[in-house]
A and B are shown apart, each in its own frame.
Chain A
Amino acid sequence: MSRSTAPERRRPIAEVLAAHGGELLSVPGVVAVGVGERGGEPCITVLVKGSVELPPDLGGYVVSIVHSGPITAS
């Protein structure tokens, strides 16, 4: 509490994904989540069908939305 404004340390992205992946997948329209890359930086990639609005970042990582449509094993 007494610590001053040290830069926020991010948790490893796999940990952030493990903590929030289930929640993201519970949002209607979200079909997959994973670790991707955007602009050379690791990001949380969320694959969606239809139109889904999500926060722009999560745990300090950019949330990148990809319109994959439904994922099938067909």
Chain B
Amino acid sequence: MAEKQRSKHGGSDHRGRLRRLSGLVVVLALLAGLASALAAAAAGPPGPPDLAQAISAKDRHAGKLLARAGVLGTGVGLESGRAVVVVLTAREGVSGIPDQLDGVRVVVRVTGPIRALGTTAPGATVAPSPEAKRGGTNPASYFGRPVPIGVSTGNADECLAGTIGARVKNGSGVYALSNNHVYAEENGGTVGATVITQPGLYDLKGRNRCQYSGDYSLGRLAAFVPINFSTSAQNVVDAAIGATTDASLGNATPPNGYGTPSSTTATAALNMAVEKYGRTTGLTTGSVCLTNVTVNVGYTSGVARFVDQFGVCKANFSQAGDSGSLIVTAEGDHPVGLLFAGGSGVTFANPIDAVLSDLHVSVDGS
């Protein structure tokens, strides 16, 4: 999440054509009632025979039904006093649903599109948090060269601030790693020409705010992975590297961070304890709460779908400006992901192995 001067994502994408669906709730309540009635019946007089038949038909065919695109769920309900198999679908006209299963009638209920109410934009904190400044280090400030990783960065063409994730290398080449949307202007940057900076121009003070000068240069954009701005895309990484030198960029965080990341990566798994050091919130810890994530992410250029992402669910694990941070394991500081997006209480990251292989680099760590 790069901190930008202009608001990028104010637009809400509410659709006017929203259908309220109370039917689902009714069906579910009905199902709950039936389940308890059945449980009670098991101990006393036998339940209605057609109900048991419907349940067994549903159980037998649920897997097959749920495998169909558009089917969201299955259940059992009552229709005109008769037990039926209920199939919940995302839209009208889902094909391949039979009229009956093992002699039990099938009823289709459309549960979506459903209703979406107001959006609440996540709060963006401009100033670095007190945690980030603890120990006398403000990751949003200018650093003498070589600069640490985990601090403010950006490009010379935009007034923004993101984070240097890591120093990475390829043979004798040394690079600063961050996001495409921090270094490469959401595909608009020019390899070999666009200058990358420390700090990001957003973090310059007073009159100098947003004004580029050569003092802030770290190098030039060396490569980026283009983002496909589409909700049918299969993006995996939002990543870019700028060519720099050991004299300009170190490979450890400031002293109040985790230090130097390992050069050996790890794969995110549920409940894995992780940490990151970034421009806005400094050192924060959390754990992986989501894997196999598909997510629609809002950018200035539009919405892009990402697949195979992971999530860390913790309030303030990251905020705007932490984009580009390296997420590492709490034990051993093994790189796991490249932080790039977030919502309220959740942070998303690209799998680091995909980032490194797409850019043909490795983490220059310990």
Contacts and interface: CB of A to CB of B under 8 A. Distances in A.
Interface of A: 1, 3, 5, 8-9, 11, 14, 16-17, 19-29, 31-37, 42, 45, 47-60, 66-74
Given A23-B70, A70-B121, 10 more contacts: A19-B69, A23-B69, A23-B112, A27-B90, A34-B311, A37-B289, A70-B9, A71-B295, A71-B348, A73-B297
B293 A52 contact: no
Contact of A47 (B8, B60, B295, B340): B295
A7 to B, nearest CB: 9
Interface string B67-82: 1011111000000000
Interface of B: 1-4, 8-9, 12, 14-15, 18, 21, 24-25, 28, 56, 59-60, 62-63, 66-67, 69-73, 88, 90-91, 102, 111-122, 124, 179, 181, 231, 238, 270-271, 289-299, 305, 309-311, 313, 320, 323, 340-346, 348
A11 B122 contact: no
B11 to A, nearest CB: 9
Contact of A69 (B67, B238, B343): B343
Contacts, number: 197
B294 A67 contact: no
Contact of B290 (A25, A34, A52): A34
A23 B142 CA distance: 46
B268 to A, nearest CB: 11
Contact of B1 (A23, A32, A35, A74): A74
A23 B341 CA distance: 22
